Protein backbone atom coordinates (compact mmCIF):
# COMPACT_ATOMS: atom_id res chain seq x y z
CA UNK A 1 0.00 0.00 0.00
CA UNK A 2 1.07 3.54 -0.63
CA UNK A 3 1.88 5.75 2.35
CA UNK A 4 3.29 9.15 3.24
CA UNK A 5 5.34 10.29 6.21
CA UNK A 6 5.37 13.86 7.39
CA UNK A 7 8.41 14.80 9.41
CA UNK A 8 7.68 17.24 12.20
CA UNK A 9 4.23 17.45 13.69
CA UNK A 10 4.81 21.11 14.57
CA UNK A 11 6.74 23.73 12.62
CA UNK A 12 7.14 27.31 13.75
CA UNK A 13 8.43 30.12 11.52
CA UNK A 14 8.62 33.88 11.70
CA UNK A 15 6.46 35.97 9.43
CA UNK A 16 8.37 36.55 6.20
CA UNK A 17 10.57 33.47 6.65
CA UNK A 18 10.76 30.42 4.42
CA UNK A 19 8.21 27.69 5.06
CA UNK A 20 9.38 24.09 4.54
CA UNK A 21 7.07 21.20 5.37
CA UNK A 22 8.46 17.75 4.71
CA UNK A 23 6.74 14.77 3.15
CA UNK A 24 8.22 11.46 2.04
CA UNK A 25 6.22 8.86 0.20
CA UNK A 26 6.35 5.13 -0.18
CA UNK A 27 4.86 3.78 -3.39
CA UNK A 28 5.46 0.83 -5.65
CA UNK A 29 4.09 2.72 -8.64
CA UNK A 30 4.43 6.36 -9.78
CA UNK A 31 2.29 8.15 -7.25
CA UNK A 32 -0.21 10.94 -7.36
CA UNK A 33 0.67 13.23 -4.46
CA UNK A 34 -1.28 16.04 -2.84
CA UNK A 35 -0.97 18.72 -0.20
CA UNK A 36 -4.06 19.83 1.65
CA UNK A 37 -4.51 22.63 4.19
CA UNK A 38 -6.99 22.62 7.06
CA UNK A 39 -7.81 25.85 8.84
CA UNK A 40 -9.31 25.59 12.34
CA UNK A 41 -12.80 24.09 12.36
CA UNK A 42 -12.88 23.82 8.59
CA UNK A 43 -12.61 21.14 5.96
CA UNK A 44 -9.60 20.33 3.82
CA UNK A 45 -8.64 22.52 0.90
CA UNK A 46 -6.43 21.30 -1.93
CA UNK A 47 -3.21 23.32 -2.14
CA UNK A 48 -1.53 21.51 -5.01
CA UNK A 49 -1.09 18.12 -6.65
CA UNK A 50 1.53 16.12 -8.51
CA UNK A 51 0.25 13.86 -11.27
CA UNK A 52 3.46 12.94 -13.12
CA UNK A 53 3.65 16.04 -15.29
CA UNK A 54 6.02 18.80 -14.13
CA UNK A 55 8.07 17.88 -11.05
CA UNK A 56 7.80 21.42 -9.65
CA UNK A 57 4.17 22.05 -8.85
CA UNK A 58 2.76 25.46 -8.04
CA UNK A 59 -0.33 25.76 -5.91
CA UNK A 60 -2.55 28.35 -4.34
CA UNK A 61 -1.48 31.02 -1.83
CA UNK A 62 2.13 31.03 -3.06
CA UNK A 63 2.90 27.43 -2.11
CA UNK A 64 4.84 25.04 -4.28
CA UNK A 65 6.21 21.52 -3.97
CA UNK A 66 8.88 19.57 -5.82
CA UNK A 67 8.59 15.88 -6.60
CA UNK A 68 11.98 14.20 -6.18
CA UNK A 69 11.90 10.56 -7.12
CA UNK A 70 15.48 9.91 -6.00
CA UNK A 71 14.61 11.11 -2.50
CA UNK A 72 10.98 9.87 -2.55
CA UNK A 73 10.04 13.33 -1.32
CA UNK A 74 7.36 15.92 -2.01
CA UNK A 75 8.21 18.78 0.33
CA UNK A 76 5.99 21.87 0.49
CA UNK A 77 7.58 25.32 0.46
CA UNK A 78 6.63 28.96 0.50
CA UNK A 79 9.27 31.69 0.23
CA UNK A 80 7.68 34.07 2.73
CA UNK A 81 5.29 33.03 5.48
CA UNK A 82 2.23 35.07 6.28
CA UNK A 83 0.20 35.01 9.47
CA UNK A 84 -2.74 33.64 7.49
CA UNK A 85 -0.71 30.51 6.63
CA UNK A 86 -1.06 29.21 10.18
CA UNK A 87 -2.98 25.95 9.78
CA UNK A 88 -2.64 22.16 9.66
CA UNK A 89 -1.05 20.79 6.50
CA UNK A 90 -1.54 17.27 5.22
CA UNK A 91 0.42 15.40 2.60
CA UNK A 92 -1.52 12.61 0.87
CA UNK A 93 -0.98 9.91 -1.74
CA UNK A 94 -3.55 8.39 -4.04
CA UNK A 95 -3.68 4.72 -3.20
CA UNK A 96 -5.32 2.21 -5.52
CA UNK A 97 -4.33 -0.97 -3.70
CA UNK A 98 -7.17 -3.19 -2.64
CA UNK A 99 -9.52 -1.89 -5.27
CA UNK A 100 -11.02 1.53 -5.62
CA UNK A 101 -9.13 4.72 -5.05
CA UNK A 102 -8.52 6.49 -1.77
CA UNK A 103 -6.34 9.21 -0.37
CA UNK A 104 -3.95 8.03 2.32
CA UNK A 105 -2.91 10.93 4.50
CA UNK A 106 0.13 11.70 6.56
CA UNK A 107 -0.24 12.60 10.20
CA UNK A 108 -0.23 16.33 9.50
CA UNK A 109 2.05 19.25 10.34
CA UNK A 110 0.79 22.17 12.38
CA UNK A 111 2.33 25.38 11.04
CA UNK A 112 2.64 28.29 13.45
CA UNK A 113 3.62 31.73 12.16
CA UNK A 114 5.02 34.18 14.66
CA UNK A 115 5.50 37.93 14.42
CA UNK B 1 -23.34 27.29 -3.70
CA UNK B 2 -21.42 24.90 -1.45
CA UNK B 3 -19.78 22.12 -3.49
CA UNK B 4 -19.88 19.41 -0.79
CA UNK B 5 -22.25 20.08 2.06
CA UNK B 6 -22.69 18.09 5.24
CA UNK B 7 -25.37 18.30 7.89
CA UNK B 8 -25.32 18.72 10.76
CA UNK B 9 -22.10 20.61 11.44
CA UNK B 10 -22.17 19.68 15.13
CA UNK B 11 -23.79 16.66 16.75
CA UNK B 12 -23.80 15.95 20.49
CA UNK B 13 -25.50 12.77 21.60
CA UNK B 14 -25.53 10.16 24.34
CA UNK B 15 -23.96 6.74 24.21
CA UNK B 16 -26.23 4.11 22.73
CA UNK B 17 -28.14 6.49 20.49
CA UNK B 18 -28.46 6.18 16.70
CA UNK B 19 -27.61 9.16 14.52
CA UNK B 20 -27.21 10.05 10.85
CA UNK B 21 -25.02 12.48 8.97
CA UNK B 22 -26.00 13.63 5.50
CA UNK B 23 -23.78 14.64 2.61
CA UNK B 24 -24.61 16.14 -0.76
CA UNK B 25 -22.37 17.24 -3.61
CA UNK B 26 -23.37 19.43 -6.54
CA UNK B 27 -20.19 18.93 -8.56
CA UNK B 28 -21.49 16.11 -10.71
CA UNK B 29 -18.81 13.79 -9.31
CA UNK B 30 -19.21 10.02 -9.55
CA UNK B 31 -17.37 9.02 -6.38
CA UNK B 32 -18.03 9.95 -2.77
CA UNK B 33 -16.22 9.14 0.46
CA UNK B 34 -16.46 9.24 4.21
CA UNK B 35 -13.33 10.02 6.22
CA UNK B 36 -12.89 10.06 9.98
CA UNK B 37 -10.53 12.52 11.67
CA UNK B 38 -9.65 11.57 15.22
CA UNK B 39 -8.61 13.79 18.10
CA UNK B 40 -4.99 13.74 16.89
CA UNK B 41 -6.19 14.97 13.50
CA UNK B 42 -5.35 11.70 11.77
CA UNK B 43 -7.55 11.19 8.69
CA UNK B 44 -8.61 7.71 7.69
CA UNK B 45 -10.96 6.58 4.98
CA UNK B 46 -14.08 4.70 6.04
CA UNK B 47 -16.07 4.15 2.87
CA UNK B 48 -16.19 5.06 -0.78
CA UNK B 49 -19.06 4.80 -3.24
CA UNK B 50 -18.91 5.06 -7.00
CA UNK B 51 -22.23 5.84 -8.66
CA UNK B 52 -24.17 4.38 -5.71
CA UNK B 53 -22.02 1.23 -5.52
CA UNK B 54 -19.92 0.49 -2.43
CA UNK B 55 -16.26 0.28 -3.44
CA UNK B 56 -14.27 0.60 -0.21
CA UNK B 57 -15.29 -0.55 3.26
CA UNK B 58 -12.24 -0.03 5.39
CA UNK B 59 -12.61 -2.31 8.43
CA UNK B 60 -15.25 -0.11 9.96
CA UNK B 61 -17.52 -1.57 12.69
CA UNK B 62 -20.83 -2.66 11.23
CA UNK B 63 -22.56 -0.13 13.47
CA UNK B 64 -21.62 2.28 10.68
CA UNK B 65 -23.79 1.94 7.62
CA UNK B 66 -23.40 4.21 4.61
CA UNK B 67 -26.21 4.72 2.14
CA UNK B 68 -26.07 6.32 -1.27
CA UNK B 69 -29.57 6.94 -2.71
CA UNK B 70 -28.04 8.57 -5.79
CA UNK B 71 -24.57 9.59 -6.87
CA UNK B 72 -24.98 13.09 -5.42
CA UNK B 73 -25.76 11.89 -1.90
CA UNK B 74 -23.91 9.76 0.62
CA UNK B 75 -25.29 9.45 4.12
CA UNK B 76 -23.75 7.83 7.17
CA UNK B 77 -25.87 6.15 9.81
CA UNK B 78 -24.32 5.13 13.11
CA UNK B 79 -26.04 2.73 15.51
CA UNK B 80 -25.38 2.31 19.22
CA UNK B 81 -22.96 5.19 19.46
CA UNK B 82 -19.86 4.72 21.61
CA UNK B 83 -17.51 7.23 23.23
CA UNK B 84 -14.80 6.25 20.75
CA UNK B 85 -16.97 7.38 17.86
CA UNK B 86 -16.36 10.98 18.85
CA UNK B 87 -14.49 12.54 15.93
CA UNK B 88 -14.90 14.82 12.96
CA UNK B 89 -16.43 13.06 9.97
CA UNK B 90 -15.67 14.42 6.51
CA UNK B 91 -17.50 13.72 3.32
CA UNK B 92 -15.61 14.12 0.05
CA UNK B 93 -16.13 13.60 -3.65
CA UNK B 94 -13.96 13.10 -6.72
CA UNK B 95 -14.77 13.19 -10.44
CA UNK B 96 -14.09 9.54 -11.22
CA UNK B 97 -13.21 6.35 -9.39
CA UNK B 98 -9.52 6.56 -10.14
CA UNK B 99 -8.81 10.23 -9.91
CA UNK B 100 -5.67 12.28 -10.13
CA UNK B 101 -7.68 15.41 -9.55
CA UNK B 102 -7.82 15.25 -5.81
CA UNK B 103 -10.92 15.29 -3.70
CA UNK B 104 -13.28 18.08 -2.67
CA UNK B 105 -14.07 17.91 1.02
CA UNK B 106 -17.04 19.08 3.01
CA UNK B 107 -16.56 21.20 6.11
CA UNK B 108 -17.03 18.26 8.45
CA UNK B 109 -19.42 17.08 11.14
CA UNK B 110 -18.06 17.17 14.67
CA UNK B 111 -19.64 14.27 16.55
CA UNK B 112 -19.38 14.23 20.33
CA UNK B 113 -20.66 11.20 22.21
CA UNK B 114 -21.22 11.75 25.94
Of A33, A106, A108, give the one whose Cα is nearest residue A67: A33
How far apart are the C-alpha atoms of B68 and B34, rounded to whole Å?
Answer: 11
Query: Which residues on adjacent β-strands are paired with residue A19?
Result: A78
Probe site for chain B from A103, A105, A110 (most B CB atoms < 10 A): A103
Q: Under an 8 A CB cutoff, do A49 and B43 touch?
A: no
Q: Is B102 on the interface with A (CB under 8 A)?
A: yes
pLDDT for the residue B98: 63
- Across all residues in chain B, what is the average pLDDT? 92
Q: Of all residues in chain B, what percent carry a pLDDT higher than 70?
A: 95
Q: What pLDDT score was predicted for residue A53?
A: 77
Strand-pair category, B53-57 with B43-50? antiparallel
The string of pLDDT tens digits covering residues B62-109 is 999 999 999 999 999 999 999 999 999 999 998 876 666 678 999 999
- Is residue A61 within 8 angstroms of chain B, CB to CB? no
- List, for residues A23-48, the tens digit of each pLDDT value: 999 987 778 899 999 998 889 999 99
CB contact under 8 A, A43 and B105: yes
Contact between A76 and A46 under an 8 Å Cβ cutoff? The reply is no
Report how far apart the first and last C-alpha atoms of chain A are (Å, whole number): 41
Helices (H), chain A: none
Report residues of chain A scoring pLDDT below 50: none
pLDDT at A2: 84
Q: In the structure, what pLDDT confidence band is assigned to residue B56 with cuts at 50, 70 and 90?
A: confident
Region of A32 on the Ramachandran plot (φ > 0 left; ψ -120 to 50 alpha; else beta): beta
Chain A touched by B44 (CB under 8 Å): yes
Helix, strand, or coil here: A42? coil
* pLDDT in the model for residue B58: 85
Amino acid sequence: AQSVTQLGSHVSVSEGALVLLRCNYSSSVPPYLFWYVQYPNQGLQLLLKYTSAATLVKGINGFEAEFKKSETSFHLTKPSAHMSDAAEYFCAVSDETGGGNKLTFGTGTQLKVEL
Amino acid sequence: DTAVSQTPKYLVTQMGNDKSIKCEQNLGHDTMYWYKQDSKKFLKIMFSYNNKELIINETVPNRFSPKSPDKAHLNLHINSLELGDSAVYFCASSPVLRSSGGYTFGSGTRLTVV
